Structure 1
Amino acid sequence: MRAGDRAYRTLRAEILDGSLEPGTLLQEVEQSTRLGVSRTPVREALRQLAADGLVAASGRGNVVTAVSRDDIVSLYELREALEAKAAALAAQHHDDAPFDGIRERLLDAPRLLEQGEPGLGPYFAIVDELDEAIEAAAGNPFLGAALRNVQLHSARIRRLSRHNPERLRAAAGEHLLIVEAILARDAELASHATHVHLHRSLTNALATASEAVDAATSESPADRGPKVA
């Protein structure tokens, strides 16, 4: 793998999982030292991240972008249009085998979620597999490309629910309903189940974002300002 691609994947993963928080300053020298590559691959990686909308240029360097309430609402508006259509198409055109396997793993999701943090990785892997199976079954490459772009940003918002076990359990049930609707070849139900899931996810994301803003505004001025990674 090229050094630029490796740097890009590492930085992207750290932004998506929250290791690099919004407002973190990503300076080329520091990142090249930390990642063990020259400045050129880091520069390439930062350009790609800027194209993804994950970093933005500032006077001091590149900064990890924040996700505002308006961003969340706009993203979910797009997700509803894309994902509801994809679920309906998947219900019409899918092969049962992938969805049968995902259904079995979703039935085990409550046990995973009871484990707390150790179970979150395996649970989110099931959700990612479901996204990929729906995209493949929908069979529309243009829709698939749009879905992948949306899912990149959705991953940042998804981690807002990591510390809400009740919401995670409810979401697992919602995903199961989507899978069962697809297996039943009921396009209308698959679309509706997706709509309900996204509506509830949006409500939770906005509530959690409000809590984060309240916590940030309660910090002293000395605590705020760009972080350097």
Structure 2
Amino acid sequence: MRASDRAYRTLLDEIQSGALAPGTVLGEVEQSARLGVSRTPLREALGRLVADGLVVQQSARVTVVTGIDADDIRELFELRRALEESAARMAAERADSASFADLADEFAHASLDGRSGLDAYYALIGRFDTALDAAVGNDYLTSALRTVRTHLVRVRRLARDNPDRLAASVAEHRLIAAAIAAHDADLAASATHVHLHNALESILHSIDASTGSATSPSVPVLVEGS
């Protein structure tokens, strides 16, 4: 792996995990020494993170981790809704039925017990996303989706795992996968719309609960789940 790729991956993981919190200053000299790379590959890595929207360049040698608030999350979900509903519709028109039928069955039997169950569930979502991208077969769309998913890792960390919401998310993913398998484009897009609405409201509700603020109208919500 190239030094710039290694530095990018390390910094990306640290930003997404919260190890590098919003507002953290990434000084070029300090980060080069910490990551064990020279300044040229570090600058390449930071440039990629700037393009991702995860850091902002404040000066020639100082970069800062960007923050994320309720308005950012709403805007992210506006883009996510446009992309994922289109992707679901296109996948329903183009996908191999068997692969999505298998995914629907996996969602139907998914267990959320313990940390291992949650890890397995998120891995299943990852496989679903990969299958969706392959079915769509549009590099421009899938590239945009990858950017959105990069930010979603940070957003999910702001929400708390809630058993009711996670169970609902499993059912929502099962319906989307089943609709794609059945080549029902309208149902696939509608089910995706409902899933994203519930996911957004639950994340905002979770942030409200942790900060005591009011970021969204009071509506019945569940809580997190991709």
Paired with 1:99 and 1:184, the residues of 2 have a C-alpha distance of: 9
Match of residue 76 from structure 2? 75
TM-score (norm 2): 0.84
Segments of 4+ in structure 1 off by > 6 A? none
Q: Corresponding residue for 1:224?
A: none
Q: Which residue does 2:182 correspond to in 1? A: 184
Q: Secondary structure at the match of 1:5?
A: helix
Change (3 A) 1:100 1:126: same
Q: Does residue 43 of structure 2 align to residue 43 of structure 1?
A: yes
Mapped contact 1:161–1:168 kept (Cα < 8 A): no
Identify unmatched segments of 5+ residues in structure 2: 214-226
Relative to structure 1, the CA distance from residue 169 to residue 149 in structure 2 (aligned partners, 3 Å threshold; closer, same or farther) is: same
1:172 is aligned, of 147, 170, 176, to 170
Which sections of structure 1, spanning at least 5 residues, go unmatched? Answer: 216-229
Q: What percent identity do the matched residue pairs reach?
A: 52
**What's the offset of the Cα at 1:97?**
3.4
Offset at residue 31 of structure 1 (A): 2.2
Distance 1:206 1:123 in 2: 22
Shift in Å, 1:55: 0.7
Aligned-partner Cα distance in 2 for 1:68–1:61: 22
Larger helix proportion of the pair = 1
Equivalenced residues, count: 212
**CA offsets per residue over residues 120-169 of structure 1, 9 Å max, x none?**
33221211221121122122222222222222212221233453232222
Please state how far the C-alpha of 1:36 moved relative to its aligned partner: 2.3
- Report the aligned-residue RMSD: 2.1
Between the aligned partners of 1:54 and 1:198, the Cα distance in structure 2 is 22
Q: Could you report, residue by residue, the CA deviation over 1:170-198 in whole angstroms, capped at 9, with x for unpaired residues? A: 21111111001111111111000000000
